[in-house]
Amino acid sequence: MMAEFKCISCGEIKDSEKPCSCPACGYRMFETPYDRKDILISEIENFISHFQIRTVTRKDLVFQGKYEDDKRFPDYDKILKYVTGRDRIDDFLNNLLETVEQLTVHFTAQFSKTYPVSFEILDGKIEQYDEVLRATLQVLVPGSTAEFPPVKWEKVSLLYAEKQNKCLWFSASQLINLIEKLAKKIVKFIKVNNLYGNNHKYHPRSLKGKLTPNTDYKDQLENAISETQKALEKKYFVDIADDGRAELKEMQTCLWHGIELIMCAPLFIKTFDYLTESGGVSEEELFTQVAAKLTDRYKAVNTAINSESLFRAKTEDEVFENYRKLISLDQFGFLVPVGTTLVNIGESEKKLGELIGLARIKESISKIKAY
- Describe the strand order of the beta sheet including 20-21 as a list of residue ranges: 13-16, 3-7, 28-31, 20-21
Q: Which residue has the higher pLDDT, 287 or 199?
A: 287
Rounded (5°) CA angle 61-67-69: 130
Percent of the chain with pLDDT over 90: 65
CA nearest neighbour of 186 among 276, 95, 93, 292 = 93
Q: In angstroms, what CA-CA distances link 370 with 24, 173, 358, 364?
A: 18, 83, 18, 10
CA atoms within 13 A on the CB side of 276: 12
pLDDT in tens, 103-119: 888 888 889 999 999 99
pLDDT band of 358, cuts 50, 70, 90: low
pLDDT of residue 354: 53
pLDDT band of 144, cuts 50, 70, 90: confident
CA nearest neighbour of 56 among 111, 109, 126, 5 = 126
- Tell me the average pLDDT of the chain: 89
Q: Which residue has the higher pLDDT, 356 or 203?
A: 203
pLDDT band of 364, cuts 50, 70, 90: low
Specify the amino acid at residue 31. E
pLDDT of residue 371: 44
Task: Name, in order, each residue with C-beta under 8 angstroms of 252's C-beta and a sequence gap of 6 or more.
Answer: 186, 200, 202, 204
pLDDT in tens, 53-107: 989 999 999 999 999 999 988 899 999 999 988 888 888 889 999 988 998 888 8
Specify the amino acid at residue 367. K
pLDDT band of 369, cuts 50, 70, 90: very low
Q: Which residue has the higher pLDDT, 37 or 341?
A: 37
The number of beta carbons lying within 10 Å of the beta carbon of residue 311 is 21
Q: Does residue 365 carry a pLDDT above 50? A: no
**pLDDT, mean of residues 258-281:** 95
Percent of the chain with pLDDT over 70: 93
Q: Which residue has the higher pLDDT, 150 or 43?
A: 43
pLDDT band of 359, cuts 50, 70, 90: low
**Residue 297 three-state SS:** coil
pTM: 0.77
Do the bridges between strand 268-276 and strand 111-118 make them parallel or antiparallel, or are there none, so unpaired?
unpaired
Q: Identify any residues that bridge with 14 across adjacent strands, giving them in sequence order.
A: 5
pLDDT of residue 351: 52
* 48-57, 158-167, 290-299, 345-354: segment of lowest average pLDDT: 345-354
Q: Does residue 48 carry a pLDDT above 80? A: yes
* 4-18, 161-175, 335-349: segment of lowest average pLDDT: 335-349
Listed by start position, the domains of the chain span 1-34+341-371, 59-117+158-272
